[in-house]
């Protein structure tokens, strides 16, 4: 119902904003409309509208009423009475009456939607002539422009929500916006496609697992909801990533999430590691063995990037130390002659 009210107000503003009216044989009316709901009264809105000459008032033709239909429409003299019903997302029903003379118009329209009642009172006076067909086309274009702007704003908002929710796995956000009655129902397939791609990365898996674990700890389903809403199996995803991580040498990820692979690699390359610091640092597998001891809540892809550089850095340091020792030996030999 709120959407119906906003749309009706938008129509009034659009019509009232028309800078000039084309000359013609139709009737130009100046209208005053007030809307009242329980606990809230809206101020009167004035507008001008072009009415086809000798045309009867039909409310289902004055709005974007594609889901509305007349249940009863009666004309008696200069008075029109009707009943109408709208279905769909903004379902409503209403009754109304409009009386029109040569120079005046007054009526009332009572609507009911979602248990809320609203009364719209209209009055008007004829102030000149116009071309109803031309003015209707102008109004339709202006209304279409307003709708296009609203659709564009909604699109940007939905795309931003998809990017955020796919990135963090639903750590916050509102899953309701992707439901049938939400603002972004058509964007759920896009969300799930991006989510599946994201969780197939090492950092993405870590973010999604953290979101799910935080949700379980806090006892709220709103955290990590992308996993369940998109049917993502984190355990199956972990198994696939662990196999890939061995090939990619993502030892930090293996240490954090792959206990079987970590145990196998440690047994093969890290025997005795962790018992003696000096020996550990001298080991050619120091970076790998340190990474395999990582914890899941400490994991970052930067850890793996750093681990890959450590062996190179260690080798460079060893070479530098050897060169320095050689230089020192030469100096001693030159000083003492041996």
Residue 110 host element (H or E): strand 104-113
**pLDDT one-digit tens code per residue, 251-275:** 999 999 999 999 999 888 888 787 7
The neighbouring-strand residues paired with 42 are 35
**Burial group, residue 71, by CB count within 10 angstroms (0-12, 13-18, 19+):** exposed
Average pLDDT over residues 22-49: 83
Q: How far apart are the first and last CA of the chain?
A: 101
**pLDDT exceeds 50 at position 112:** yes
Residue 56 pLDDT class (50, 70, 90 cuts): low
Helix/strand/coil for 149: helix
The highest-confidence range among 63-77, 124-138, 215-229, 283-297, by mean pLDDT, is 124-138
The neighbouring-strand residues paired with 93 are 85, 112
8 A C-beta contact, residue 53 and residue 25: yes
8 A C-beta contact, residue 242 and residue 261: yes
**pLDDT exceeds 60 at position 19:** no
How many Å apart are CA 103 and CA 26, to the nearest integer? 13
**pLDDT exceeds 80 at position 306:** no
**pLDDT exceeds 50 at position 7:** no
What is the predicted pLDDT for the residue at 131? Answer: 87
Average pLDDT over residues 47-60: 70
What is the predicted pLDDT for the residue at 332? Answer: 47
**pLDDT one-digit tens code per residue, 74-92:** 999 999 999 988 888 778 8
pTM of the model: 0.53
**pLDDT exceeds 50 at position 44:** yes
**pLDDT one-digit tens code per residue, 191-212:** 999 999 999 999 999 888 888 7
Q: Look at residues 107, 113, 91 and name the one whose alpha carbon lies nearest to residue 38.
A: 113
Buried b (16+ CB within 10 A) or exposed e, 84-104: bebeeebebebebebbbeeee
Average pLDDT over residues 285-311: 65
**pLDDT exceeds 50 at position 172:** yes
Q: Are strands 68-76 and 40-51 parallel, antiparallel or unpaired?
A: unpaired
């Amino acid at each position: 119902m709120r959407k119906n009210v906003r749309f009706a107000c938008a129509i009034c503003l659009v019509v009232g904003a028309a800078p000039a009216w084309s000359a013609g044989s139709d009737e130009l009316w100046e209208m005053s409309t007030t809307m009242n709901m329980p606990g809230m009264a809206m101020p009167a809105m004035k507008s001008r509208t072009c009415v086809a000459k000798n045309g009867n008032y039909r409310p289902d033709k004055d709005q974007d009423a594609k889901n509305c239909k007349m249940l009863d429409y009666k004309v008696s003299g200069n008075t029109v009475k009707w009943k109408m019903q709208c279905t769909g997302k903004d379902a409503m029903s209403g009754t109304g009456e409009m009386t029109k003379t040569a120079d005046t118009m007054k009526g009332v329209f009572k609507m009911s939607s979602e248990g809320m009642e609203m009364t719209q009172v209209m009055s008007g006076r004829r102030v000149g002539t116009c071309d109803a067909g031309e003015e209707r086309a102008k109004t339709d274009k202006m209304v279409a422009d307003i709708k296009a702007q609203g659709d564009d704003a909604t699109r940007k908002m939905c795309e931003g929500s998809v990017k955020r929710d796919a990135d963090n796995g639903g750590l916050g956000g509102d899953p309701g916006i992707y439901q049938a009655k939400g603002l972004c129902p058509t964007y759920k397939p896009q969300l799930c496609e991006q989510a599946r791609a994201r969780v197939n990365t090492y950092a993405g898996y870590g973010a999604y697992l953290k979101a799910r674990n935080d949700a379980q700890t806090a006892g709220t389903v709103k955290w990590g909801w992308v996993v369940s809403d998109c049917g993502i199996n984190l355990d199956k995803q972990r198994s696939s990533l662990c196999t890939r991580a061995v090939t990619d040498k993502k030892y930090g990820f293996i240490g954090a999430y792959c206990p079987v692979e970590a145990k196998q690699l440690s047994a093969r390359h890290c025997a005795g590691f962790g018992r003696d610091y000096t020996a550990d640092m001298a080991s050619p597998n120091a970076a790998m063995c340190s990474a395999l001891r990582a914890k899941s809540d400490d994991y970052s892809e930067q850890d793996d990037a750093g681990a890959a550089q450590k062996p190179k850095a260690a080798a460079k340091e060893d070479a530098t130390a050897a060169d320095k020792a050689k230089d020192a030996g030469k100096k001693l030999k030159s000083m003492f002659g041996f």
